[in-house]
Structure 1
Amino acid sequence: MKLDLNSLIFENQFFIVINKPVGYEFHGPLGVLNVLRQHFPQLYGVHRLDKATSGLMVFAKDKNTQKILSEIFSKRKVKKIYLALSSNRPIKKQGKICGDIVKSRSGNYKLTRQRRNPSLTQFVSCYNDDTSLRCFALRPLTGRTHQLRVVMSSLAAPILGDDRYGGEPAQRLYLHAYQLSFEFSNELFDFRYFPDENEYYHQTKNDFLTILKKL
């Protein structure tokens, strides 16, 4: 999937919202910011998604809006929900995962039982008969490096396509930023985008819509 104007989900005088395809990093000549600036010359980053993650991203149209939105994101005033798929059965189907995320000797991150600076993630899951995959709706309540990938690994259900954390091989990392909800200029914005264009997500859509009601 190519990043272009068809990726635009929303636009007003202050910011735009896009559905970022897999494979686009934030910076670089072919990064998401530079590609978008071909269409919106005055555009400023507010938050980021990993190169391998697809889904919703917000970009400000001016520096004042960037400052306001960046503060909203940094102060965790944004409701974020991600969709993930795994070929493994988790050690528990739903709940909250809390613990410090630290870097291991291998260079990967891991979840520990310590809670000095804990990450917190709420999740719900179910099994999909058509694909034999597990569907996960994940709500990060903190923001740590690789938080959701590490949490899924700690549940013994690494994300499909996440070879770094033990996931089954796939053509992509099955982690998608589905929802962003926040208040801006006294108005509530609630953006959601389901990746219907992907076969596995298309086949599991009804199950995802069911478990999303629980978050």
Structure 2
Amino acid sequence: MSQRTAPLPLLDGVAPSYMNLPGGRWPSMLAFLVGHCAHVAPELWHDRLRRGAIYDHAGNPLSLDSPYPGHGRIWYYREVPPEIPVPFDSPVLYQDEYLVVADKPHFLSCIPAGRHLRETLLTRLRHELNLPHLSPIHRLDRETAGVMVFCADPSKRGAYQQLFASRVVSKEYEAIAPYRNDLALPHVHRSRLEERPDCFAMHEVEGEINSETRIELLERRGDKAHYRLLPHTGKKHQLRAHLAALGIPILNDIWYPELLPDKGSDFSRPLLLLARAIEFVDPLNGQFRRFESRRSLDWSAA
């Protein structure tokens, strides 16, 4: 069910979640939740029902003695441990009836997921712009900064997403990474990327090529360099994986070439990767669109 038909409003930019109820008999809603959702501690279900923080299909709060209704749907707002505030702004670069373009800072997740709920770009924009139906057209990694495009009208989102599926969107990134004397630039790197079986990261494997990145040199400072990255494909972590495979991993990357501890509240060493610009022909009116980040990569963080 979409947010437009949800019985609950956004709560500080956070959309409600729902659970479809299976058929069957339980003595109460509490008994069902405790027995069916064992990944959540029983005392948490008890506390949520006591506070009226779980709602029926019409948006009415359920209580500890509410009966189990069988087939139906319940609604709730996700609750996560206190989040570390991300102390960087996320200015809007452009806004019209259908599009919102924001300049995402490092360390801010794009959408709610895992332990990140309110400290996400989507939640911020929904709350600040009062746009409950806002949704992303593409994604950036949490640690990557730069241009992010959102659609404010769910009926038009598919047309914009099709641009990415058809590879008619041009994206330009910048990165600071080690310099390789023996790597002739510009260089086009092609490989097959697949997710590693032991973690969320990607790695190169034998097989049909499914990723391509053009790498250009913008500036060199000693043993470090400022690169322009032009991806032709959009595989997960493509730029980070490609540069790591070339022996020039992006500086301050905790995923590549090896998995390092999460930075937590240390915002002093951002991943030196920036989504500089994105351009496409608007499918709704045929206009050429180009949006550029106003941010820059900080050499002092290298």
TM (normalized to structure 1)? 0.82
| Residue among 70, 82, 94 paired with 2:161 | 70
Residue 49 of structure 1: how far off its partner (Å): 0.6
Question: In the alignment, residue 157 of structure 1 is paired with which amino acid?
Answer: I
Coordinate RMSD, CA, aligned: 2.6
| Residue among 78, 88, 98 paired with 1:2 | 88
| Residue among 289, 292, 297 paired with 1:189 | 289
CA contact (8 A) 1:14 1:61 kept: yes
Residue 90 of structure 1: how far off its partner (Å): 6.6
> Are 1:160 and 2:160 counterparts?
no
Distance in 2, matches of 1:141 and 1:112, equals: 19
Residues 1-215 of structure 1 correspond to what in structure 2 (within 5 A)? Answer: 2-4=88-90, 7-25=91-109, 26-27=111-112, 28-42=117-131, 43-89=134-180, 91-92=182-183, 93-107=185-199, 108-115=201-208, 117-129=209-221, 132-166=223-257, 171-184=269-282, 185-196=285-296, 198-200=297-299
CA contact (8 A) 1:46 1:59 kept: yes
Greater Rg, structure 1 or structure 2? 2
CA contact (8 A) 2:277 2:291 kept: yes
Aligned residue for 1:58, secondary structure, equals: strand
Cα distance 1:113–1:194, how it changes in 2: closer, same or farther (>3 A)?
Answer: farther
Distance in 2, matches of 1:103 and 1:80, equals: 22
CA contact (8 A) 2:218 2:228 kept: no
Aligned residue for 1:39, secondary structure, equals: helix
CA contact (8 A) 1:90 1:155 kept: no
Question: In the alignment, residue 101 of structure 1 is paired with which amino acid?
Answer: L
Residue 105 of structure 1: how far off its partner (Å): 4.6
Residue deviations 1:85-134 (CA, integer Å, cap 9, x gap): 0134275232211111023354232123422x5111111125423x7521
More strand by share: 1
1:213 paired residue number = none
Distance in 1, matches of 2:286 and 2:273, equals: 31
Moved over 4 A (4+): none
Aligned residue for 1:164, secondary structure, equals: coil
Q: Percent sequence identity over matched residues?
A: 23
Distance in 1, matches of 2:247 and 2:101, equals: 33
Q: Any stretches of 5+ residues in structure 2 without a counterpart?
A: 1-86
Distance in 1, matches of 2:298 and 2:272, equals: 11
Aligned residue for 1:178, secondary structure, equals: strand
CA contact (8 A) 1:48 1:57 kept: yes
Question: In the alignment, residue 271 of structure 2 is paired with which amino acid?
Answer: L
Cα distance 1:165–1:86, how it changes in 2: closer, same or farther (>3 A)?
Answer: same
Matched residue count:
198
Q: Any stretches of 5+ residues in structure 1 without a counterpart?
A: 202-215
TM (normalized to structure 2)? 0.60
Distance in 2, matches of 1:10 and 1:90, equals: 40
Cα distance 1:12–1:126, how it changes in 2: closer, same or farther (>3 A)?
Answer: closer
